[in-house]
Amino acid sequence: EDQVTQSPEALRLQEGESSSLNCSYTVSGLRGLFWYRQDPGKGPEFLFTLYSAGEEKEKERLKATLTKKESFLHITAPKPEDSATYLCAGTFTGGGNKLTFGTGTQLKVEL
Amino acid sequence: NAGVTQTPKFQVLKTGQSMTLQCAQDMNHNSMYWYRQDPGMGLRLIYYSASEGTTDKGEVPNGYNVSRLNKREFSLRLESAAPSQTSVYFCASSERWGTDTQYFGPGTRLTVL
């Protein structure tokens, strides 16, 4: 069964303190790796899609990278407004467009 | 564009009652999905509709039914609600069935007493 595991479960950073969130997946034909941001009481908001190992995408203070076994979401000089839960999900060969989600990393950025 | 909209935002039911959650998208997407989100668990797929006129079971379909009313609308029905169905329900849509990005609605928070 395809699985997506995120770590850490929770992360507390000071404003400006860069860090990375991890998303690892079982190697069974990854077709697409997705990152979403979810604020409390809201639906997941799409951030990035990665399809190939070595691919990178950036948006403001966020950069997502992909290897053959895992993806990282790098947060550079975070601000309090970056506080949210970050969700990783994958689609795998044989699963159609079924997204398999991790349980998320809850990020809190403090002043 | 409103994107994906869901109604209602909140609902409280008693065990055994029925209700329908409504979802609509204005992005002309072909595929639509229903997920549930529970604490400590990832979002799980309940049902999906790869294209208008088709529906299929996802990971946790028991206790639910769906209707793809037209290209824009996809509803989720609980025929006899149970406390185990207390959850937050999200509707999503994507342009095509495949590896396309799914866009999510704001969710419906359902409590079954």
pLDDT per position as a tens digit, B84-111? 999 999 999 999 887 789 999 999 999 9
CB nearest B101 (choices: A46, A87, A100): A46
Q: Which residues of chain A, if any, have pLDDT below 50?
A: none
- Examine residue A78 and say whether the peptide bond preceding it is cis (omega within 30 degrees of 0): no
Exposure string of A39-73, with b = 16+ CB inside 10 Å and e = fewer, is eeeebbeebbbbeeeeeeeeeeebbbbbeeebbbb
**Would you call A36 an interface residue with chain B, using a CB distance cutoff of 8 Å?**
yes
pLDDT score recorded for residue A94: 75
pLDDT score recorded for residue B13: 97
Matching residue, tokens 């229903």: B34
CB nearest B104 (choices: A31, A32, A43): A43
> What are residue B62's phi and psi, to 5 degrees?
-60, 130
User: Which residue type does A90 have?
Assistant: G
Q: Between chains, do A98 and B97 touch, taking CB under 8 Å as contact?
A: no
B-chain residues within 8 Å CB-CB of A87?
A: 42-43
